[in-house]
Amino acid sequence: MRWSLLLFLLFSFSSLAESYTCLIGGWPATRNSSGGCDPAQGNRFYSQVSDCDSGQMMCNPAVFGARACVPIDTAQARNSSFANCRRLTAESEEQVDVNLNPELFWDSAEAISQICNEGKGRQAHTAMCRALKIHMSPAVADLEPLPAVSDSKDISNLNSNLQHLTNILESDLKQFEDNCPVQNEEDLRAVLLCQSLSHRIADGANRIERVADKIESADDQSLGCNEAQSLLDEELQAAVDCQAKKENDNFGRELMCAATNALSFDLGFFQIGTQPKAIQERCQNSPEAGCLQQMIVGFFKSIVSAISGIWDLLKMGAKWVGQQASHFWSWIRGVEDTSADKQTTLGELDDEEMGKAKRNLGDWAREKFNAVSEMFKEFVTHDLMCAEWSNPATMSGECLQPADWNCLTSADKISAFCSGMGYLGGEIVGIAFAAGAVSKGVSAGARAISASLRASGQYAKMTSRFAHLGRASRATRVAGGARAAASAAAAAARTTAARTLRHVAQIKQTPAFQAASAMARAAAQSAPVSLASRAARTATQPVRQLARFEARVFQAGQRTTESLLRGRAAVAPTVTSARTGRVMVSPDASNRQRTAYAQQKLNRQLTPQQADAVIEAHRVGAGQIGRDGVNLAGLENYTKTQLLQKRRILEEAGFNSQEIRILMENGIVGQGTGASAYARIQKAIKDNDSTSVSTLTKRLKSENGNRINQAIRDYRRGGNSTDLFALQEDLVNQYRFLQSQGGDFASASSEIEALIKTMDRTVVNRLKVEGYSAVNFDQLTPPTATTSTARSSASSPSSQTSRAINRDEMKRIYRESNSFADFDERVISRRADNGQITWGNIQDEMSSNINKIKGQIQQIDQALDSSDLGDMAIRFRSRKTELETTLAKKENLRKHASKVVKKHSTNFNDVMARQISSEQEWRNIYRDLTPDNARMYKNSNASQVNDLIERGQHTLNRAKAGSISMSPADIKGLEDKLSLLRLEYERINNLAP
């Protein structure tokens, strides 16, 4: 199994395997006329690397990690060649290195897999093959195959299956945390390990959920007496756990902290309250608090934000509003939505409420928040997590067994608040008043919330997310012993399952899991090595930015705040270029800001395609290394290739050279630069450029402040104290360097001194980190000249390093992989026929790949024309030939996919059935995606379904017009299915954020 995993990965990273039939000295080869295995004849790489004498053979360096010659002049020597190679290279310090010659490595690995695993040739069962499997696959050697989801109906079997899967998931996750993200994306072996782990982690979590579902639906009586007893013990344990949770519950404190922080948030319109120092000190900035805080800020903002403020922002974009009605309504959307929200709420205020609101809006808002929190709590326990309904089929009527709020963990409570109240946002005020909840009690409010969520289609989603908590709560009640032993035991098994599910839900929220999911998705969608490794390297970043709980649903709930932000579309924040002093669009500008600014700068309206191109060009280089070879690409730090790529995208969208120049020079199509303010200051000192010192000093302070905050936060969340030591040392180095410069940098050094002192106070007094001591500034010595020079030279690449970087850049182009479409065509067909991907997907993917490959060929041509590539030129030409071959294959595949898509229009029902059945999959995918990706995914799916509707409708129209022959029953069937598809279309739109 584990070898098949490698095989799978080998397919993923396709190489150009040839028709090898045997192995010798680690070389895949073909047999000559006398039946001997001869690499010199059958392996195109052999002649490139071998320099052994006649009668000798070079051991395959990609397998053995070193170059060695072994004799092959006798039959015995030939038979022992593998053992001899191992012996001779055993002393070498070199390890098998994928990067030594990637092409040779993958070519060899694939052939070894075919021969040793699939039994191609006659060597599958030899000692050599056994040794090679282990030798070549250390990356996957430790991974057991995932156990299948049990078919058993027996709860105890299912439970054991569940535990096994959970243990493996935890172990995989640990391994993923230890080894991923990969620091060096060139290290394909590490990428391979990370990727295989990411697949297993995503798959493992999925299997656990399936087993838990089986346990939930299994027959109570299917449990043996012994198992029942042991599980009953667990049941009792659950009750104990509940008690422990009660004792450790800190939800109240979290809510208070979040509210306190929210109240001190600059609402910009009026001051709701102040943050008492005593409370401030008790709040530890837990990760959960951020989500609650944002929710509460959203709540207050929805009440107090000014409509005129939105207009102030909208008016800046007024002259670019197009002349179609849809342009107008789209421009005005924020105002229409926000005023409708507020006015609906106003409509619900009776005289008493209105009086209070008028007297003191702040007090009134706080009072409402408390009331709404109570209502929501009741909604969660009596509805969302209700364990038993009087009408179970529709999950309605009276809740016979509400969940025990006290038995939920603090995290679960916060999760429920953030998802539910976050979704409802400001509207919850109106809903609560609609039911007269304030005067009639919390139950009425809870019912109103439920009705509103049910009507919006959100209810099912939230219930599926939280029902297991209700079941856990029910099970703990059962432990009281009122029910029959078998039922109690089954409930206990379900408790275990529920607990496991809850555990898995928590695991899923860890940065490691999300990083793994991101990587698995990247691989599933296109599988280029560079993309996967980039995901591995950068995945933790967006994860940090997401709220820990229910970010997607929460975001939907923040619509009022979003409306405000949308209103700011025309205001593009700016930054000043450290190099040129030019004012440019901030890297943090939103897409709308970016396009609005582009229109402003070009003094014309962009077509939708051009607006998309601006964003696409802006994204080029994201997460890649920039020109300096050290920092991430960004403004003023793009490689030539990245700039060319941006240019090409803009040219294709119809921008002329002058416009492209404007877009580039104003930072509109740029990312945030990775160069730190410190690096820039060093460069400014080196260039004797004092013009931007003041800006950079401010930025340095802000950057360092953020670093300190982040390090302290990380440490509080269980991070390593070494990061704090390292940060202190780095800051001290900065301080010493800047102090030694004197003059303009005196203030910068004293600001760093202040920051270090603040950090030291927190770390020593609050965090009490062992071994950490405050810096004694009186005893600090200025830095030596050597250190200073080294730093300066490191930050400014010389012409020599530029050349090296140029080569690196070229290497990246060379290595840049293509996509999942590099799979064997048969594999793609099989996946498409199994419904894992659609032919429509493939068609789209091919089109995109073809463009990409054409771009790569173009880049290689440019590189060959303009660069001093030396020996790399040969490889580039070879790569170009490969790309051209791949291009031809992909064009064929696109044509084929296009034909199949057309054919499917006649097999409409089959395709449609597949779309309908994939809802759960979509839901799962959306849950794990970042909001941006979810939106992209939604658009893609919606367009597919829309396409089906269009085609189906076309067929129906033709059938009705008599152009094609269809029976009345088929016509009726088609009409029904079209209705289903329309529902599906709505569902996709509702599912997405």
Instruction: Tell me if 777 contacts another protein by CB under 8 A.
Output: no
Alpha-carbon torsion angle 24, 25, 26, 30, nearest 10 = -30
Cα(291)–Cα(287) distance, integer angstroms: 8
User: Segment 45-104, which members bind another protein (CB under 8 A)?
Assistant: none
Distance in Å, CB of 420 to another protein, minimum: 12
Distance in Å, CB of 561 to another protein, minimum: 13
Q: Which among 155-163, 252-260, 344-352, 876-884 is the span making contact with another protein, rule CB under 8 A? A: 344-352
The runs of H, that is alpha helices, within 767-868 are 785-795, 799-815, 825-833, 839-866
Task: Give Cβ neighbours of residue 355 (< 8 Å, ≥ 6 apart).
Answer: none
Q: Which among 219-227, 451-459, 693-701, 867-875 is the span making contact with another protein, rule CB under 8 A? A: 451-459
Binding residue for another protein, selected from 358, 440, 830, 903, defined by CB under 8 A: 358
* Phi, psi dihedrals of residue 69, rounded to the nearest 5°: -105, 135
Distance in Å, CB of 217 to another protein, minimum: 30
Instruction: Tell me if 603 contacts another protein by CB under 8 A.
Output: no
Distances in whole angstroms, Cα of residue 806 to Cα of each of 809, 867, 903: 5, 8, 48
User: Nearest-CA neighbor of 455 among 423, 492, 477?
Assistant: 423
Binding residue for another protein, selected from 243, 339, 773, 939, defined by CB under 8 A: 339
Instruction: Tell me if 354 contacts another protein by CB under 8 A.
Output: yes
Instruction: Tell me if 341 contacts another protein by CB under 8 A.
Output: yes
Binding residue for another protein, selected from 142, 233, 336, 729, defined by CB under 8 A: 336
* Phi, psi dihedrals of residue 481, rounded to the nearest 5°: 100, 10
Residue whose CB is less far from another protein, 340 or 583: 340
Written as six digits, the tokens of 309 are 């403020």
Helix pair angle (442-456, 361-379), 10° resolution: 70
Tokens 């004293």 belong to 750
Distance in Å, CB of 419 to another protein, minimum: 15
Residue whose CB is less far from another protein, 168 or 357: 357
Distance in Å, CB of 597 to another protein, minimum: 17
Binding residue for another protein, selected from 128, 212, 335, 602, defined by CB under 8 A: 335
Residue whose CB is less far from another protein, 95 or 979: 979
Residue whose CB is less far from another protein, 324 or 967: 324
What's the burial of 585, exposed, middle or buried (CB within 10 Å: 0-12/13-18/19+)? Answer: buried
What residues pair up with 70 in beta bridges, in sequence order?
57
CA contacts within 13 A on the Cβ side of 32: 9
Please check whether residue 463 is in contact with residue 191, taking contact to mean a CB–CB distance below 8 angstroms: no
Instruction: Tell me if 367 contacts another protein by CB under 8 A.
Output: no
Q: Which among 209-217, 278-286, 433-441, 853-861 is the span making contact with another protein, rule CB under 8 A? A: 433-441
Cα(813)–Cα(867) distance, integer angstroms: 13
DSSP-derived secondary structure letter, 430:
H
Instruction: Tell me if 267 contacts another protein by CB under 8 A.
Output: no
Binding residue for another protein, selected from 33, 324, 603, 965, defined by CB under 8 A: 324
Written as six digits, the tokens of 196 are 């295989």
Instruction: Tell me if 452 contacts another protein by CB under 8 A.
Output: yes
User: Segment 553-572, which members bind another protein (CB under 8 A)?
Assistant: 556, 559
Distance in Å, CB of 439 to another protein, minimum: 11
User: Nearest-CA neighbor of 858 among 584, 620, 533, 641?
Assistant: 641
Instruction: Tell me if 983 contacts another protein by CB under 8 A.
Output: no
Distance in Å, CB of 318 to another protein, minimum: 4
Instruction: Tell me if 307 contacts another protein by CB under 8 A.
Output: yes
Instruction: Tell me if 971 contacts another protein by CB under 8 A.
Output: no
Instruction: Tell me if 439 contacts another protein by CB under 8 A.
Output: no
Instruction: Tell me if 271 contacts another protein by CB under 8 A.
Output: no
Binding residue for another protein, selected from 265, 269, 725, 823, defined by CB under 8 A: 269
Task: Give Cβ neighbours of residue 242 (< 8 Å, ≥ 6 apart).
Answer: 404, 406, 407, 476
Distance in Å, CB of 307 to another protein, minimum: 5
Written as six digits, the tokens of 795 are 């930050």
- What's the CA angle centered on 173, arms 171 and 175, to 5 degrees? 70
Residue whose CB is less far from another protein, 350 or 921: 350
Written as six digits, the tokens of 182 are 């990969």
Binding residue for another protein, selected from 127, 134, 306, 790, defined by CB under 8 A: 306
Instruction: Tell me if 303 contacts another protein by CB under 8 A.
Output: yes
DSSP-derived secondary structure letter, 632:
B
Binding residue for another protein, selected from 52, 346, 662, 971, defined by CB under 8 A: 346
What's the burial of 881, exposed, middle or buried (CB within 10 Å: 0-12/13-18/19+)? Answer: exposed
Q: Which among 352-360, 579-587, 613-621, 752-760 is the span making contact with another protein, rule CB under 8 A? A: 352-360
User: Segment 105-124, which members bind another protein (CB under 8 A)?
Assistant: none
Residue whose CB is less far from another protein, 105 or 364: 364
Please check whether residue 445 is in contact with residue 437, taking contact to mean a CB–CB distance below 8 angstroms: yes
Residue whose CB is less far from another protein, 309 or 719: 309
Instruction: Tell me how crowded residue 98 is: count the other CB atoms within 10 A of its CB.
Output: 20
- What's the CA angle centered on 492, arms 491 and 493, to 5 degrees? 90
User: Nearest-CA neighbor of 194 among 177, 180, 174?
Assistant: 180
Task: Give Cβ neighbours of residue 244 (< 8 Å, ≥ 6 apart).
Answer: none
Distance in Å, CB of 955 to another protein, minimum: 26
Distance in Å, CB of 394 to another protein, minimum: 18
Q: Which among 162-170, 423-431, 518-526, 742-750 is the span making contact with another protein, rule CB under 8 A? A: 423-431
Instruction: Tell me if 726 contacts another protein by CB under 8 A.
Output: no
Q: Which among 311-319, 649-657, 862-870, 941-949 is the span making contact with another protein, rule CB under 8 A? A: 311-319
Instruction: Tell me if 342 contacts another protein by CB under 8 A.
Output: yes
Can you say whether the dihedral through the CA atoms of 259, 264, 265, 270 is positive or negative?
positive
E strands in 329-470: 388-391, 396-401
Cα(877)–Cα(870) distance, integer angstroms: 12
Instruction: Tell me if 343 contacts another protein by CB under 8 A.
Output: yes
Q: Which among 235-243, 434-442, 822-830, 949-957 is the span making contact with another protein, rule CB under 8 A? A: 434-442
Residue whose CB is less far from another protein, 349 or 643: 349
Please count the residues of this chain forming the interface with another protein, following the rule CB under 8 A. 61
Query: What 3-state DSSP class applies to 69?
Result: strand
Q: Which among 57-65, 342-350, 504-512, 584-592 is the span making contact with another protein, rule CB under 8 A? A: 342-350
Binding residue for another protein, selected from 458, 495, 500, 558, defined by CB under 8 A: 458
Instruction: Tell me if 419 contacts another protein by CB under 8 A.
Output: no
Instruction: Tell me if 315 contacts another protein by CB under 8 A.
Output: yes
Binding residue for another protein, selected from 36, 71, 290, 436, defined by CB under 8 A: 436
Please check whether residue 387 is in contact with residue 471, taking contact to mean a CB–CB distance below 8 angstroms: yes
Instruction: Tell me if 706 contacts another protein by CB under 8 A.
Output: no
CA contacts within 13 A on the Cβ side of 637: 26
Q: For 35, left (φ over 0), alpha (ψ -120 to 50), or beta?
A: left
Binding residue for another protein, selected from 49, 304, 832, 837, defined by CB under 8 A: 304
The runs of H, that is alpha helices, within 907-967 are 908-917, 919-928, 931-961
What spatial distance separates the first Cα and last Cα of the chain, rounded to whole Å?
Answer: 38
Distances in whole angstroms, Cα of residue 822 to Cα of each of 14, 104, 448, 864: 6, 18, 53, 25
User: Nearest-CA neighbor of 689 among 702, 680, 701, 676?
Assistant: 680
Distance in Å, CB of 256 to another protein, minimum: 26
Which residues sit at the interface with another protein, rule CB under 8 A? 269, 303-308, 311-312, 314-315, 318-319, 321, 323-326, 328-330, 333, 335-351, 354, 357-358, 361, 427, 430-431, 434-436, 448, 451-458, 556, 559, 990
